[in-house]
Structure 1
Amino acid sequence: MVDSGVSSDNHHLKPWVEDVDNYVIETNQNNYHGDFVAGIINYGHILNENLTNVVDSGVKILDVIVLPDPEKEKVREDDLLSSLEQALEEYSDTYKVWNLSLSSKRQCTGFVSEFTASIDELQKRYNVIFVVAAGNTTNSRINRITLPADSVRSVTVGSIALNSSIGDVVEENMIVPYSRVGPGIGLSIKPDVVHFSGNPSNHPIYSLDSNGKRIGDFGTSFSTPLVSAIIAEYFSLYPQNMYPLMAKTLLIHGAKNPVGKDRIKEISAHYEYGYGLPRRISDILNGDEHEITLLFEGEIDSSRGTNWIKIEEFPFPESFFDEENQKIKGNILVTLGYETPLNARYGSEYCRCNLDVRIRTKISDSYKKITEGSKTYDASFDAKWERDRITSESKWSNIKQVEFKSPVGRQGTDDMILEVLPTWRNLDEKERVPFVIAD
């Protein structure tokens, strides 16, 4: 937890603090924000009766104290990064999920900043994942996520309303007006996901103060730790198999539209809700009796001539194949996450590689596409211009989703493959690109 710190006399939260790494002198600390965030992580489900499907088994915390009382001391971005780097150097082998319920006053402009590029570089160097608040706003006319919420490697979290009643600004499960929205760098989808926080002005989300008193507040700072706890559970339950790219891919694969409970498809909704409300890993991997989740890992290494990968071990249930009429039916959702090379010198073209994923089925003697690439529903599928491909196909984004959905059947066979294909902005930049596919 990279924040303002947990109060030294907070008897409710101190038992959950495993380690402390302090960069702010005690007389300059104000632990209100840190206490609230830590309280949400460990007691949110108890203090908010409608807050369900969150981690309820407790979360151990590394308390990295970097944010001073703003009335006593200001923290600069370079000082924050320096403290964060020192903490990572000491603790990154033990703690893989880093909650950053903080933001700057600078809005994402579509071009990468030095601050954001540094955040991305630290995550790769220390093999960790940052979970970052999208930021808060009081002006809906000028509303973009703030730095470093535009970080490509981070999971950025917006806020939806936990409760509602007559007179509230929005209904429950809807995006709250203070939650900053996307897009991110190069029109990428940000935030990545959303979780619950207070609904202005009648329904705050509740946590604890340093005296153990139940208090309410509002902000994306307080939806962010709920997602951090979910990801931490991924690592806790699968310590030998989990790593940042796997965790982010699974998180987004399992996310649902909090309003309609289906996959979010429109780019306008993506820029508010991201990919939706994430789920705990047991819900993703186990699902119900009609679902199965598969995971594939690999890498594209164009520098060694690997320019295309075909995944042939792609099972398809016999009950979904009508052999007599040569038709397939059912629903396949594929989420691709990959470790895109980044280069801050190129501004909005910060992401230097694009991986695309497609599903093909064998018809006659050749494989035909049954998905066209990652598509949202707000742009024309016939659009050829680069901007339209970015918004309609998530081009250059390190997360992609494609879906085959046909309840009545479509021409095809049970001989199906997945394809992964790279595109480079500059052929001289080719390098190894690891990927994870969940379907």
Structure 2
Amino acid sequence: MAKKNLPIKLFQKRQKIDDRRVEGGGGDNVPKWELSGHLLAERAESFIAPINELIDVFQKRNDSREFIPATLKIDIDDNAIAKSHRKDIQKIFNGKVTKNNIIGFLDSNSAIVKVDSIEEGLQIKNNIANYLKNPRGISAIESIEVFKPFIVDIEENQAVKISLIDFLNYEINNAVKIAFIKYCTEFNIEVKEVNYSSGLIIFKIKNASKGVLDSISGFEALESITFMPKYQVETDSIESEDTLDIKWPTDGIEYPIVGVLDSGVSRNPYLEPWLLEDKFSSYPDELIDPMHGSCVSSIILYGDQLQGKNWTGNTGCKIFDATVFPDQKQESIDEDELVENIREAIKNNNHIKIWNLSLGTASESSINDFSDFGKALDDIQLANDVIICKSTGNCRNFEKGHPKSRVARSGDSVRCLVVGSVAHSKNTHDIADINHPSPFTRIGPGPANSIKPDLVSFGGNAGLDGGRTIQNGVNAISHDGSAVKIMGTSFATPRVTSLLSELNFKINETFNPTLLKALAIHSAKYPTGISLPISERVNQMGFGIPDSADEIIYNDPHEITLILQENITRGEFIEILEFPFPESLIDDDGFFYGEIKITLVGQPVLREKQGAEYCQSNLELKFGTYENIKNRDTTKANILNEIGPDDTQNVLLDSNYKSLHLKDTESEYARERVLLNYGKKYQPVKKYSVNLSEMKDSRQRDSLANNRKWYAKIKGTYRDFAETLAIQDGEELNQDFTLIVTIRDTKAQKQVYNEVSRLLAARNFMHSNIKLREEVNVQIEDEI
């Protein structure tokens, strides 16, 4: 195998040449589900009663709170949920003023509509009565009812979380909060507002009773009352007789820093040399049990040595102890307290860019909505420009012979790099084979079919012996410096954290969270011997196990990795024609060949109250060939771009490839092959890995003839809610993203790195080797 010592490359789009404007198009065909005649009339008639009920609500309302809008819950037909039909639904509820009264989604199909006044309610009633003017909007709605908050049944003296409706108006929301506090005070109820994120209005009552809930259930802006979740760490460990040499920082050498959000880190002989003097703690020493945090930190520092493997390539890093979790034998912690501790720790130390969070909850994530905790982590990361590596959570279903649970509610963060566990070894009673998902790891998909976990690493194995759980843990160092074996996704996560810290340190570029995520995901492979089909691999293992740092940042002569870091604004797209694909990769039949691996990671637009549509932005990617560049007539309607490609063929489509390869789980390339149909899914992470030689013969002839040219196209799209709100607020919607493309000669014959380097220069792409802290002398023959 050729030596990897050639740095991966950054390149830039060509200004003006590669910029395009989004063009309109498409007709207005009548959908099959649109009603007519008596069916349309009956549907409209069924909506009148709930509107009358809403008007009655206004008339009976307390005068001091008459400013609070009333709310409806509408259920939308599955077939009409698409963005293209949203305007027709809005027309019914917008009254006489042009605005969007659909303010949130409860799940994928149920929306909340605000109604500001009796007059607006009467206008909505009139819109429904005139159903012939908007048959599509009426048909798209299955039912309407006055919104009723969800209120959990509780026992005495339990902490509850109270969510208020976000009316998308600062003044109204502020007045609502004041009114709610006053309302509670009248009933002698003590409430506290807690900070999750800017789009969530949440209060907490510490010792609630059923009577308390009954008292506040009538507040007009109440959305839900639920239990305040509690969080925990699992620290079951087994003593080990293994020994390990203490490693020491080298004087005069700078090291990366990792923030450990955990139960505390002890200053034992192994960790002391690497622990920063400065620390953050939400608790006094007597309320701290550093066992869990010390084990996590030991894997960040010594993970490769402990297992005798080069899994991360970490050469050492400083540890910042952020104690956000108390000794659970003495004190429990509620979700809002944990969020507050994490926010304060990161905000006060946001010069530290990589953080580890190996804490979780036993609750499974929702199918259709993202957790408040996940949203809070997303908000914290964006506000402080950091990455949190988060465990996917553990479950004990294997002890009962049940299927694995889905990712925990604490592991559904969109911006976090969420990590699951695979088995490092297999003993007599262990359930999982080596390199397969651990019995205790939680799996995907996340809410709204999001890909979670993102990655996996080694966190242990487990089995049963006569009904008794047998642990096969990974090696770690306990708080007292003794060697232990311990299992859990908590101890897979720090390996990925360690890798990211090493990558961030080695790469001497401006910190970019999408770049680091993309590099780790781009490098990931599935272990040898995994027999799962592609879609199930992604559910169980995300995109696989990432490579070590040096393997990620270097190429060999027969491959090249190109990185594009850009921002794309709504109404525009990037179309790179004459993409520098190596012209030497032509087989004996005259077709292009080789492996293409592409990873696209965006910084998504998120809106907290949109249910399954929490992720409001998407990046669409096409990569392939075209015949020629053609001139376009911009005098015609909807034609805005003067040039464009002719006969484009997207080589990333799974339908291009032979079914026998799609089903293949045994070949060496099966470890890397990623052919997913993302369709219109709003996924901030997309990865493709294809071997052009596996393409169907007919598609090869259409797509890979040696006279064709290559292109890449990236287009940003947004949901209707984000677009409407942006227009109201004067916001310009945009997304930062990182695109990574690796092209490899599968025959290891052509000098791909040299050739593509020359093509970049010849085609006027600004490009450079990625800046690394340690310079390597690289000889590139004839490079321009």
Which residue in 1 is equivalent to 2:711? Answer: 417
Structure 2's unaligned 5+ residue stretches are: 1-259, 463-469, 630-645, 660-675, 727-731, 742-784
Q: What secondary structure does 1:206 align onto?
A: strand
Which residue in 1 is equivalent to 2:651? Answer: 371
Are 2:336 and 1:336 aligned? no
Q: 1:277 aligns with which of 540, 545, 550?
A: 545
Structure 1 segment 69-108 matched on structure 2, within 5 A: 69-93=327-351, 95-108=352-365
Q: Summarize the Cα distance change of 1:408–1:219 in structure 2 as closer, same or farther, 3 Å threshold.
A: closer
Structure 1 segment 381-392 matched on structure 2, within 5 A: 392=678
Is the 1:117–1:344 Cα contact (8 Å) retained in structure 2? yes
Which residue in 2 is equivalent to 1:219? Answer: 488
Which residue in 2 is equivalent to 1:17? Answer: 275
Which residue in 2 is equivalent to 1:143? Answer: 405
1:372 is displaced (CA, Å) by 4.7
Q: What secondary structure does 2:518 align onto?
A: helix
1:408 is displaced (CA, Å) by 7.2
Is the 2:404–2:441 Cα contact (8 Å) retained in structure 1? no
- Distance in structure 1 (CA, Å) of the matches to 2:344 and 2:314: 31
1:7 counterpart letter in structure 2 = S
1:434 counterpart letter in structure 2 = D
Is the 1:77–1:115 Cα contact (8 Å) retained in structure 2? yes
1:26 counterpart letter in structure 2 = D
1:363 is displaced (CA, Å) by 2.1
Which residue in 1 is equivalent to 2:567? Answer: 299
Is the 2:370–2:409 Cα contact (8 Å) retained in structure 1? no
Q: What secondary structure does 2:543 align onto?
A: coil
Q: 2:388 aligns with which of 105, 127, 130?
A: 130
Is the 2:298–2:476 Cα contact (8 Å) retained in structure 1? yes
Q: 1:28 aligns with which of 287, 290, 300?
A: 287
Q: 1:112 aligns with which of 360, 367, 370?
A: 370
Q: 1:58 aligns with which of 292, 307, 316?
A: 316
- Distance in structure 1 (CA, Å) of the matches to 2:565 and 2:542: 24
Q: Summarize the Cα distance change of 1:320–1:20 in structure 2 as closer, same or farther, 3 Å threshold.
A: same
- Distance in structure 1 (CA, Å) of the matches to 2:607 and 2:490: 29
Q: Summarize the Cα distance change of 1:343–1:204 in structure 2 as closer, same or farther, 3 Å threshold.
A: same
Q: 1:67 aligns with which of 325, 333, 338?
A: 325
1:207 is displaced (CA, Å) by 0.8
Which residue in 2 is equivalent to 1:203? Answer: 472
Q: What secondary structure does 1:170 align onto?
A: coil
Is the 2:404–2:440 Cα contact (8 Å) retained in structure 1? no
1:212 is displaced (CA, Å) by 1.8
- CA-atom RMSD in angstroms: 2.6
Which residue in 1 is equivalent to 2:414? Answer: 152
1:424 counterpart letter in structure 2 = Y
Q: Summarize the Cα distance change of 1:299–1:260 in structure 2 as closer, same or farther, 3 Å threshold.
A: farther
Q: What secondary structure does 2:592 align onto?
A: strand
Deviations 1:374-411 (A, max 9, x none): 8999x9xxxxxxxxxx9754720101123442227833
Q: Summarize the Cα distance change of 1:179–1:261 in structure 2 as closer, same or farther, 3 Å threshold.
A: closer
Q: Summarize the Cα distance change of 1:223–1:142 in structure 2 as closer, same or farther, 3 Å threshold.
A: closer
1:116 counterpart letter in structure 2 = G
Is the 1:355–1:423 Cα contact (8 Å) retained in structure 2? yes
Deviations 1:172-211 (A, max 9, x none): 1110110001111211111000000111136310111123
Are 2:436 and 1:436 aligned? no
Q: What secondary structure does 2:609 align onto?
A: helix
Structure 1 segment 187-198 matched on structure 2, within 5 A: 187-198=449-460
Identical residues among aligned pairs (%): 30
1:295 counterpart letter in structure 2 = I
- Distance in structure 2 (CA, Å) of the matches to 1:133 and 1:313: 42
- Distance in structure 1 (CA, Å) of the matches to 2:694 and 2:678: 26
- Distance in structure 1 (CA, Å) of the matches to 2:445 and 2:680: 11
- Of 420-429 and 246-255, more deviation after overlay is shown by 420-429
Which residue in 2 is equivalent to 1:244? Answer: 513
- Distance in structure 1 (CA, Å) of the matches to 2:678 and 2:538: 11
Is the 2:314–2:549 Cα contact (8 Å) retained in structure 1? no
Which residue in 1 is equivalent to 2:498? Answer: 229
**Normalised by the size of structure 2, how large is the TM-score?**
0.51
Q: 2:624 aligns with which of 360, 381, 390?
A: 360
- Of 426-435 and 205-214, more deviation after overlay is shown by 426-435
- Of 399-408 and 334-343, more deviation after overlay is shown by 399-408
- Distance in structure 2 (CA, Å) of the matches to 1:374 and 1:37: 39
Are 2:581 and 1:316 aligned? yes
1:253 counterpart letter in structure 2 = H
1:315 counterpart letter in structure 2 = P
- Distance in structure 1 (CA, Å) of the matches to 2:319 and 2:655: 39
1:406 counterpart letter in structure 2 = L
**Normalised by the size of structure 1, how large is the TM-score?**
0.89
Number of positions where the alignment pairs a residue of Structure 1 with one of Structure 2? 421
